Structure 1
Amino acid sequence: MISYTEALDKILAEVRVYQDELVSLSESLGRVLSTDVEADRDYPPFHRSAMDGFAINSQGYSPNQIYPYHRELPAGMSMDLEPNELAIRIMTGAPVPEGLDVVIKIEDATLSESNGQKQVSFSTKEIKPWFNISKRGEDLQTGDLVLPKGIQIGTSEFSLLASLGKEKVSVVKAPKVHIISTGNEVIPIHQSPLPYQIRDSNSYTITSILSKYKIQPESVTHAPDLESEITEQIQKGLEADILILSGGVSMGSLDLVPSILQRLGVELIFHKTAIKPGKPIWFGKRKNTVVFGMPGNPFSVQTCSRIFLEPFLRKSYGQNQLPSYKLPFSATKQRKGSLTEFFPVRFETTDKTYLAPTTFNGSGDVRAGVFSDGLAVFPSELSQIQRGDIVDFLPW
């Protein structure tokens, strides 16, 4: 039985590189960039006024000096200075004409009129060149790297790509995924369970993890603990890039999945890890298909999806792994075995932020992950965690 870190290393060693595809910008939200994105021009593309006010030249400025003006420049237009023109009224976002290098906001201006001539003076005591002006190229210059490949497109990236005129975006093509939930006791969620039956939540847990990466499973099926039916479903599932099963991987007489997988030519990479929950996890491959055989208990599936499946997806997409954090624990917890334990915790803030354990009655507890912020790690080499001890934390 291998350790958690050994298991994760073996899983990440089997990462597949998926193809690229072009999608419209409107379809790209949540997808992962497959190529670097560079600036198509300078940003701002011109010296841009950062204020509503007046544009003047900084040379020779003194407070309360009178500046005649007669023109106004809104955003979306440009103008050249006329001979002897010393000031213009300007709006936020407008290009500052060449020859002017300061914008004084309207709140610091005093407007007046003399003999039909508009004029303005300013109370600002000191100014310097480019005061209240965003200089051309100060954000980005043509050819600058804007977004590296491997970035997941969120709201900020989505907006930025629109600013760059990216009508089409090159993203990583989503892998084909098949999900199989096994077990005689498992029924679809729309059916009323008998006392000895449970509804299938595992396929929904796995689907939720996939949806974070805009992966829609090609099929989600259920197979009872019958060798013929499990074999049929696995044969179909092995046509996918990723096959994910839940249940049937432990040591019971009806835990048929491992023997069926190997009979169908799936190479075993490991079976069982020294963790709790999730100890019976099975992992293997056949040609271009990787296979995750997860335990059947709901929280085992949620934990294994977070610590094994999600890192695999992120590396396949060229993304950095989700960070882990070190935070103090708010209680005392005793070891109940020799395995590395992952257990649900929530943030608790008093004098500082702690990790507080949530109600947890084992891997079959359907509410185990509810109201938690992630998983705390109880290393196998420790016998207890005391209040104030620093523990590793994996956010959901």
Structure 2
Amino acid sequence: MITYDEAIHRVIDTVKVLPPVEETIENALGRVLAAPVRARWAMPPVDNSAMDGFALKGTGLTAGSELRVVGFVPAGRPFTQAISEGEAVRIMTGAPIPAGCDTVVPMEEAEVEDDRIHLSKTPGPGQHIRRRGEEFEEGEPLLSPGTPLYAGEIALLATAGISTVQVYPRPRVALLATGDELVELGAPPGPGQIINSNTYLLAARLREEGCHVLPLGIARDEQRDLGDKIAAGLRLDVLITTGGVSVGDRDLVQDALGQHGFSPIFWKVKIKPGKPVLFGTAGKTAVFGLPGNPASSASTFELFVRPALRRMAGFRDPLPPRLKVTLSTAIDGGEKRQRFLWGTLHEDQGSYHFNPSSRQSSGQNRSLQGAQALLPVPAESPAIAAGTTVEVLLLRLPPGQSLQETVPQQSEP
């Protein structure tokens, strides 16, 4: 049985970045840039005022100097009249600096009397002027491949005149739950039956990751129904199944996948929860067979599926970032498999503490409620005392935490 480290390396080595597509910047939010972007023009395109005030030639002026106001420059309109010494032009923020002017005096530093102003302070040479190209020049590189596009990047692209970009597409993911014991939400469970909650959990996480999701419903424990739904799922980039990957008489997923060209890469990993997780490919489709227990399904999604999706979507660091934290309560040791414990984070005097959830059962959705991180506990580990510094796999940023303060688990292979 392979370890988690061996398994995740196989996943990352197997899945490939999806071919880039061209997208408008309105639809590129959250996507990863696939090609470099250069500015179409300089920004600012001309010298302009950073303040509402008066544009003038500042040489030789001091507090008390008097100047005659000879015009007005609103934003968006050039001023063509030549400006001489002893003259000033009222100017608005963003308006082009008139020829002959090299300084802007803010409104609050000038006393206005009819068509004249008196300076209350000695102006500094070149003050309050935004210089042409100080943000970027025409043709200057702005963003490099691998950059995630968030609001700031979208604004920069728009400013530079970029309306479309090459990005990696959002992965298309099919979800298939398996098992005769499952019923859909809204149907009353019969004796021995439970609601198909895994599909809701995984669909929500997939949408949080920006994926396109195709729920395939529930496949019954018989080959024909299972095979038909698997065939539909293999048309997408990723197929995720839940349940049916253990060793019971009704665990038919591997056999059904084998009828559709599935090549297994691993089955069973030395972890708890999630030991019977399955991974492989069928053509160009990555296939994950997750255990049916809710917390096992959730943990194997975070440990294996999410990194694969991020790899496909072009992220440089597809694995969860690690965050050093202080353990709030003691952890038992001695387990034969590596454990991953759900927990929450809280800040105390500038450092973060990890609180393991009181419920760690693989069969409970309550294990997942509010979880922000997973704590890896090595196989055969001794007990870990409260107050020990440990590293957790970060699932959600706690308030006030930035990714720059975390340690990447691994750079892109």
TM-score scaled by length of structure 1: 0.91
Q: Does 1:92 align with 2:98?
A: no
The alpha-carbon distance between structure 1 residues 58 and 345, as it changes in their structure 2 partners (threshold 3 A), is farther
Cα RMSD (Å) of the superposition?
A: 2.1
Q: How many residues get paired?
A: 391
Pick from 307, 326, 329 the counterpart of residue 328 of structure 1.
326
The residue number in structure 2 matching 1:10 is: 10
Q: CA deviation at 1:388?
A: 2.5
SS in structure 2 opposite 1:305?
helix
**1:81–1:99 Cα contact (<8 Å) kept:** no
Whether the 8 Å contact between 2:19 and 2:169 is mirrored in structure 1 is: yes
**Mapping 1:1-396, distance limit 5 Å:** 1-84=1-84, 86-113=87-114, 118-125=115-122, 127-129=124-126, 131-194=127-190, 196-321=192-317, 322-335=320-333, 337-351=335-349, 352-380=351-379, 382-396=381-395
Which 10-residue stretch deviates more, 178-187 or 224-233? 224-233
How far did 1:195 drift?
A: 5.0
Matched residue SS, 1:70: strand
In the alignment, the residues of structure 2 paired with residue 155 and residue 387 of structure 1 have an alpha-carbon distance, to the nearest angstrom, of 40
* 1:324–1:81 CA distance, 2 compared to 1 (3 A): farther
Question: Scaled by the length of structure 2, what TM-score is found?
Answer: 0.88
**Structure 2 unaligned spans of 5+:** 396-413
In structure 1, give the amino acid aligned to 2:116. Answer: Q
Q: Which residue of 1 aligns with 2:404?
A: none
Q: 1:328 to 1:147 in 2, by over 3 A?
A: same
Q: CA deviation at 1:174?
A: 3.5
- Partners of 1:277 and 1:303 within 8 A in 2: yes
Distance 1:220 1:101, change over 3 A: farther
Where 2:367 maps in the other structure, the secondary structure is coil
Q: 1:109–1:382: structure 2 CA closer, same or farther, 3 Å change rule?
A: farther
Q: 1:226 and 1:176 mapped to 2: Cα distance? A: 26
Q: CA deviation at 1:315?
A: 1.6
Distance in 2, matches of 1:275 and 1:98, equals 72
Cα distance in structure 2, aligned partners of 1:233 and 1:23 = 31
TM-aligned CA distance change 1:376 to 1:45, over 3 Å: farther
Secondary structure, aligned partner of 1:315: helix
Hey, what's the Cα distance between the residues in 2 that align with 1:169 and 1:215?
A: 19
- Please tell me the residue identity of whatever aligns with 1:91: M
Q: 1:38 to 1:111 in 2, by over 3 A?
A: same
| Residues 330/191 of structure 1: CA separation in 2 closer, same or farther (3 Å cut) | same
Asked whether the 8 Å contact 1:31–1:213 carries over to 2, the reply is no
Identity %: 33
Q: How far apart in 2 are the matches of 1:78 and 1:369?
A: 61
2:201 and 2:46 mapped to 1: Cα distance?
A: 50
Give the residue type in structure 2 aligned to 1:124: K
The aligned residue for residue 399 of structure 2 is none
Q: Which amino acid aligns with 2:118?
A: S
When residues 332 and 75 of structure 1 are mapped into structure 2, their CA distance, relative to the original with a 3 A threshold, is same
Cα gap change, 1:80/1:380 in structure 2, threshold over 3 Å: closer, same or farther?
farther
Inter-partner Cα distance in structure 1 for 2:340 and 2:29: 32
Q: Any conservation in 2 of the 1:20–1:173 contact (CA below 8 Å)? A: yes
| Secondary structure of the structure 2 residue equivalent to 1:71 | strand
Q: Tell me, in whole angstroms, the C-alpha distance in 2 between the residues paired with 1:46 and 1:237.
A: 55
Q: Find the aligned partners of 1:194 and 1:165 in 2 and give their Cα distance.
A: 60
Secondary structure class of the residue paired with 2:64: coil
Can you give the 5+ residue segments of structure 1 that lack an aligned partner in the other structure?
none
Look up the SS of the partner of 2:254 in the other structure: helix
Residues 224 and 17 from structure 1, CA distance in 2 versus in 1: closer, same or farther, beyond 3 angstroms?
same
Instruction: Specify whether residues 210 and 150 from structure 1 end up closer, same or farther in structure 2 by C-alpha distance, changes over 3 A only.
Output: farther
